[in-house]
Amino acid sequence: MEDTPGPISTVRRRWFDATPHGKQGVTERYVVYGESRRWLLGQLNLKNTDFVLDLGSGHGFLAYELASRTGSKIVGLDLLGGEQMGTAARGGILAGLSKAIDWVVGDASKAPFSAGTFDTIVSFLGLEDVHITGGVGAMDKVIRESARVLKSDGTLAIADNTFPECASNAGQRLYLEILRKELGAQLPSKSSLIETMEGSGFEDIETATYDPKIILDEREAHIELSDIAEAEPFGKHLDIEEIWERYGDRVRKSGLEYPLILLLSARKSS
């Protein structure tokens, strides 16, 4: 897969090299993700003086893009420390970004920061697990916490692919159905999140969508669903063979496709 040469491509390359044979295609797609992290950055108006919080920073790929393309100072917050955060931090060092990014273990619904700390809060696919980890109502808490730790006039930008509106065809609908039924992962509707944002002191709410155009063939879909089945960190263990039994025929008929990415951005009122 094409990649712009540079430190981040070195990190990506290391990921691909470490991926078991046969899984490369799926890993490459996740790491590069149809360039949707760059699309997200293009939607934001970040200045190099901004202090930015990345909610659900995971393996760090959005944080790397944020730090390298904007020059901003970034904090990556994730519920999981341990191996995942270690990998993110090592990737940051490899990309020459260790001074630009701090990695913090913590819950986005109880953010371990003082009020009015950040200019911008961004999240890329960071909140799809919030229902699993925090139960119903967790997303509302994340929005309220974001309002608290943002400065006045600061920006909140949440980009995710598990809003009900993220399915525009049968392959995307199937992907979301599997996440919802098997993992209990689904974000509230766009309108309900907009209402929560308005109730938490946000205004100028805007939305945008991006289609990563990632369509999985049957073999790739099996790998993808195996990865989803290994949701151990969140206390779930699914049997891939049972999942394939339930959905394999439909995957063969409609294909499995990554859902659309929906971005909701808003400004904290002054």
Ligand X SMILES: C[S@@+](CC[C@H](N)C(=O)[O-])C[C@H]1O[C@@H](n2cnc3c(N)ncnc32)[C@H](O)[C@@H]1O
CB 270 to ligand X: min, Å: 27
> Binding ligand X by CB under 6 A: which of 79, 147, 157, 158?
79
Sheet holding 118-124, edge to edge: 101-105, 73-78, 51-55, 118-124, 150-160, 261-268, 202-210
Query: Residue 124 interacts with ligand X (CB under 6 A)?
Result: yes
Site for ligand X in 225-244 (CB under 6 A): none
With CB under 6 A as the contact rule, the residue among 29, 56, 74, 178 that binds ligand X is 56
Measured from the CB atom, is 78 or 224 closer to ligand X? 78
Decide whether 76 or 154 has the Cβ nearer to ligand X: 76
Question: Interface with ligand X includes 264 (CB under 6 A)?
Answer: no
Minimum gap (Å) between residue 253 Cβ and ligand X: 27
Rounded Cα–Cα distance for residues 166 and 37 (Å): 16
Q: Which is nearer to ligand X, 58 or 92 (CB)?
A: 58
Q: Does 188 bind ligand X (CB under 6 A)?
A: no
Q: Does 162 bind ligand X (CB under 6 A)?
A: no
The residue from 52, 67, 73, 78 that contacts ligand X (CB under 6 A) is 78
State which amino acid sits at residue 44. Answer: L
Would you state the structure tokens that stand for residue 114, as one six-digit string?
């003082």
One-letter amino acid identity for 76? G
SS3 content of the chain, % helix, strand, coil (to 5): 50, 20, 30
Residue type for position 232? E
Sheet strands (E) in 21-72: 51-55
- Distance (Å, whole) CA 2 – CA 80: 30
Contact yes or no for 152/269 (Cβ under 8 A): yes
* Of 37 and 222, CB closest to ligand X: 37
Q: Does 259 contact ligand X by CB under 6 A?
A: no
**Residue pair 192/164 in contact by the 8 Å Cβ criterion:** no
Instruction: Verify binding: residue 89, ligand X, rule CB under 6 A.
Output: no
Kindly state whether residue 125 participates in binding ligand X, applying the rule CB under 6 A: yes
Strand partners, 156: 121, 266
Which residues lie near ligand X (CB under 6 A)? Answer: 37, 56-59, 61-62, 77-80, 107-109, 124-126, 129-130, 133-134
